[in-house]
Chain A
Amino acid sequence: MGELNRTLFYDRHVALGAKMVEFGGWEMPVQYAGGIIQEHTATRKHAGLFDVSHMGRFILGGAGATAFLQHVLTNNAAALEPGQAQYTIIPDEQGGAIDDAYLYRFIEDEYLLVVNASNRRKDWDHFQQQIKNFRDVQLTDRTRESMMLSLQGPDSKKLLAPLIQSGSLGQPRRNALSVVTIAGAKVLLARTGYTGEPLCFELFIEAADALKIFDLLIAAGAVPVGLGARDTLRLEAGLPLYGHELGTDPDGKEIPIFACPLAKFAVSFSPIKDEFIGKVPLKKQHEAFRRFMLGDYSHIADLPRVVMPLALVGKSVARASAKVFAGDKHVGYVTSGTMVPYWQSRGQGLGQQFTDATALRAICLALLNSDTLPGKPLVVEVRGNRVEAQVVQYHLRSEAPPYAHPVLLEQQRQAVLVGATPGVQQVHDLLAGAIENTIWRQQECMNLIPSEMTISPMARLLSIMDPSFRYAEHKAVKAFGDAEVFYYQGTDFICRVEQLLTEQLRLYFGCADVETRAISGQMANTVVFSAIVDYLNRGNRKAEPRRIAGVMNNDIFKGGHLSAQPMGALKDFLARDSRTEAPAAVNFPVLPENPYKIDVVACKKLIDQHKPELIIFGRSAVLHTEPVAEIRRFVEQIGLRTFIMYDMAHVLGLVGPHFQEPFREGADVVTGSTHKTFFGTQRGVVAGNCSNNDRLREFWEAIQRRTFPGAVSNHHLGTLLGLLMAAYEMNHFKDAYQKAVIANAKAFARAMRDAGLNVAGDSSVDFTQTHQVIVEVGYAAGPEIAARLERNNIIVNYQAGPHEEGFSAAGAIRMGVAEMTRFGMKQANFQTLAGLMAETILKNKKTGDEVKAFRQKFQQLQFCFAGKEFEDEISNLHSLI
């Protein structure tokens, strides 16, 4: 090797005290003055800045670029939309890796492929061979012309955001891309990285601008990190490194690509990918891997060993190529291993916090016989000593941003707690606990969770009477003219109750069909999804039913609820998009100035483009009405046959002229839970306007079938009885109640704003048209503020906003006024409450006693039947318990 390459940052590295070493033909910092441990821990707690300009950067353009990439890479390049990136592998004909890489598509007609520095030449030569078979592909090596920096860690976002002059940080998801301006320079920004950090950015910068941006990031507080900590960070994250987990193993054999756990995301067999290099052996590996997941090792010869995280139990350090044994049997090798530092933490769950103390742990990645299971005791041979070790599921978890959390061996070995045989004391404790909890929540707390509601004393009593111990399965039988047939005796009363409830809810919704047997809102949604699949397949009863081809729903990051998400209730009912290989859900576009409101113009374009079979309105962070009527008109206009569903869970109790009348606006089906703004016991409901519509009559029958016997047998008859009382209350009191709720929410929102808080939503409608108020409290501060309010007897929930990466990074609190409105609070009372809350949120003032005293004024539940005329019956019901 001749003269070593240097990146433009060489002098900066030296000035920062770096030890420079040769790596892949480049002279790079292995560590700076602080050392590897400090750089590793700084990245995990603050932010690390890595010069990764030595990595190869190839640009691909031309009409044939996608086809070429589909051939030379394992992943599905055609699945990338502009603004997305993916991990991928460069395969050889044998199903091994020439290299691993990251593919970025910043703009429509150009791809950027980043490869390992030490393989750049090899990759280039391989591509030059392959490119001969493709037309119109331009491949250029831009490694020299642009620089690449990686900024990783929990502080990376707050450090980068103020530097951005135009453009945005991009969607708060891994692999999202954006183009921004920093210090007047254009920077391509990717939410990617190789450290396991959930907040991670990589910056591609033109050479002329690179130094000033490096200096800005260092000045902002990023800690420079060398190759040493880059390696320990990726090892802790369980990410493969070419030459260790990919390439050749210590026996000199090529490691199959599926030996790396990331292969399940990085290898695509999509039909649109067609033939690609290594497809045949990769299919074999995949089949072996697929069988392993089912406990079938019959194809182990096609994938003899796979990479697994291994933790040392004994005190030692195991390094690459150390042999691993199960008893006396040699089962594989360590491929990467060292001691890595981690922050010790205190507290539990969401309250867990890093302390200022670090510790070390010896961890590895190991290429082990594929039938080695997690938890199996193993030994690693270190300098002739046998050191106890164990396969673990992971060393680090990234799902609770802004931090990556170490998962220690002890945590993965925790014993399962089994209770002791209870005595009288346990009974006393339980009774006392229930009394204390009920007094606190019912008499001393401000209950502002928008999905909760206290039910009336009557509804409460009814829900624990005799029906709560009974069964009443029933089904409409066509032979008897659709009469409901019950399978058990003794059900006349509850049969009548269900009939009355159905009639009351028809009155409430103004619709023809109501199904009341789902016992939760999420179950109601599942029933509808299952019924749609059933209905779509009714002409096809002998083949595997097809799924719903596409849905449009609210983004979970913008208030959508998991009961209408592919990761939630939609999972088993929604098809995958054949191009993206992801669930075929398209999110409603939102207004740039108000992410809680659908952009109707953009939405129509998307509907026309994607033609969803199901459109699901409704969300759990709900401030505004949904454009049901406009979208109904539009789908009629373009002749699109689609189901329009409105999950009204949160706003079920607001149906009517003060908020929205979904059936009047053209919804086919409404679902909801009956206990948020509605007055009910905790159940679900499905309502429809189907049986009076020739096209949808059979759909409603499918909904009934998928409820019973599809979803429930026993459907909790006690709460059904309670719900009938709630429906009476709602139909009787709704006009005054709904008006009061919406007026209170608006007054509460205005008062919050006036108290100096940042209130989300459209200010021209006083921030809200529902019972909800959302207050932004600062990035990732939501959980702490919510906990602080709880200590002061105010119960809210933290809520991730549209720019936050997940629940643990939530920067907002969400409140609902429905329950406290029912306890009699008026606009002025909510203004008082807003003042107390602002004191606690902004000044950390202890307001718990004041809140408790204030709550004493609101003890009597309103909007329900009460008074002397019911006293005898109430006391009779009490005596029967």
Chain B
Amino acid sequence: MIPQDYKYLKSHEWAKIDGDVATVGITDFAVGQLGDIVFLELPKVGAKVNKDSAMCVIESVKAAVDINAPVSGEVMEVNTPLTQDFETLGKDPYGQGWMVKIKIRDAKELSSLLGAAEYKKVTEEEPKH
């Protein structure tokens, strides 16, 4: 289920690296944990984001959860239709469910991201609730 060629954060964001652009979303596991998603607030195009810091927020009925940037850089594009259609997040979290494209500022940051196998371990250790 977890794409092997993507990079991950412990906080359940994924990044697909394509040259100096990272396409970012949240993992299938995160979508499942959130439950019913009711609100998604994306960053503005042009916003500067920092690795491991909140760049936008996703909310379920119960709680608001920050989505962290896997890489530092500038927001190039956001997936606006997604804010009106949370079903896509459940159906295709790694494709149509992408959220933000970031112009990577420092490629060196990529080395600290998790690989698919490492991320899988994270999800197995996390208590499900």
Contacts and interface: CB of A to CB of B under 8 A. Distances in A.
B87 to A, nearest CB: 12
A542 B62 CA distance: 62
B35 A317 contact: no
Contacts of A232: 61
A36 B62 contact: yes
B129 A317 contact: no
Contact of B64 (A36, A37, A228, A317): A317
A37 B62 CA distance: 11
Given A19-B129, A228-B62, A317-B64, A36 B57 contact: no
A317 B35 CA distance: 16
Given A19-B129, A339-B61, A31 B35 contact: yes
Contacts of B129: 19, 21
Interface in A299-322: 315-317, 319
B63 to A, nearest CB: 8
Contacts of A340: 61
Contacts of A317: 38-39, 59, 64
B77 interface: no
A36 B39 contact: no
Contacts of A24: none
B74 interface: no
Contacts of A36: 35-36, 60-62
B52 interface: no
Of the candidates B36, B38, B59, B62, the one having the most CB atoms from chain A within 10 angstroms of its own CB is B36
A638 interface: no
Contacts of A228: 35, 61-62
A20 to B, nearest CB: 8
Contacts of B60: 36
A843 interface: no
Nearest to A227: B62
Interface string A319-340: 1000000000000000000111
Contact of B61 (A19, A37, A315, A383): A37
Contacts of A510: none
A37 B36 contact: yes
Contacts of B41: 316
A35 interface: yes
Interface string B89-129: 00000000000000000000000000000000000000011
Contacts of A360: 38-39
Contacts of A21: 129
A338 B38 contact: yes
Nearest to A31: B35
Nearest to B63: A319
Nearest to B38: A339
B35 A35 contact: yes
B38 to A, nearest CB: 4
A316 B36 CA distance: 15
Interface string A19-63: 101000000001100011110000000000000000000000000
A120 B17 CA distance: 54
A426 B57 CA distance: 55
A339 B57 contact: no
A319 to B, nearest CB: 6
A65 to B, nearest CB: 40
B80 to A, nearest CB: 12
Interface string B10-40: 0000000000000000000000000110110
A317 B57 CA distance: 11
A41 to B, nearest CB: 11
Contacts of A316: 39, 41
B39 A339 contact: yes
B36 A35 contact: yes
A317 B38 CA distance: 9
Nearest to A20: B129
Given A35-B35, A36-B36, A316-B39, A339 B62 contact: no
Contact of B62 (A38, A315, A338): A338
Interface in A427-471: none
B106 to A, nearest CB: 26
Contacts of A339: 38-39, 59, 61
A866 B29 CA distance: 86
Interface in A383-405: 383
Contacts of A37: 36, 38, 61
Contacts of B35: 31, 35-36, 228
Contacts of B39: 315-317, 339, 360, 362
Of the candidates B38, B41, B60, B128, the one having the most CB atoms from chain A within 10 angstroms of its own CB is B38
A681 B35 CA distance: 64
A816 to B, nearest CB: 51
Contacts of B59: 317, 339
B57 A383 contact: yes
A360 to B, nearest CB: 5
Given A19-B129, A21-B129, A338 B57 contact: no
Nearest to B54: A383
Interface string B53-81: 00001011111100000000000000000
Contacts of B128: 19
Contacts of A35: 35-36
A336 to B, nearest CB: 12
Contacts of B64: 317, 319, 383
A339 B41 CA distance: 14
Of the candidates A19, A30, A37, A317, the one having the most CB atoms from chain B within 10 angstroms of its own CB is A317
Of the candidates B35, B38, B59, B61, the one having the most CB atoms from chain A within 10 angstroms of its own CB is B61
A232 B38 CA distance: 13
Contacts of B57: 383
Nearest to A40: B61
Nearest to B83: A315
Nearest to A21: B129
Nearest to A36: B61
A673 to B, nearest CB: 52
Contacts of B36: 35-38
Nearest to A383: B57
A326 B26 CA distance: 36
B91 to A, nearest CB: 15
A313 to B, nearest CB: 15
B18 to A, nearest CB: 30
A448 B23 CA distance: 70
Nearest to B39: A317
A319 B36 CA distance: 16
A4 to B, nearest CB: 13
A362 B62 CA distance: 12
B48 to A, nearest CB: 16
B128 to A, nearest CB: 8
Nearest to B61: A36
A394 B123 CA distance: 42
Nearest to A338: B61
Interface string A338-359: 1110000000000000000000
A338 B62 CA distance: 7
B56 to A, nearest CB: 10
Interface string A216-233: 000000000000100010
B30 to A, nearest CB: 15
A337 to B, nearest CB: 11
A383 B59 CA distance: 13
A321 to B, nearest CB: 12
A319 B63 CA distance: 8
Nearest to B60: A36
B55 to A, nearest CB: 12
Of the candidates A21, A30, A360, A362, the one having the most CB atoms from chain B within 10 angstroms of its own CB is A360
Given A36-B61, A338-B62, A360-B38, 12 more contacts: A19-B128, A36-B60, A36-B62, A37-B61, A38-B36, A228-B35, A228-B62, A316-B41, A319-B64, A338-B38, A338-B61, A339-B39
Give the top 3 A-B pairs by smallest Cβ distance, nearest first.
A339-B38, A37-B36, A36-B61
14 contacts: A30-B62, A35-B35, A35-B36, A36-B62, A37-B36, A37-B38, A228-B35, A232-B61, A316-B39, A317-B39, A317-B59, A319-B64, A338-B38, A360-B39
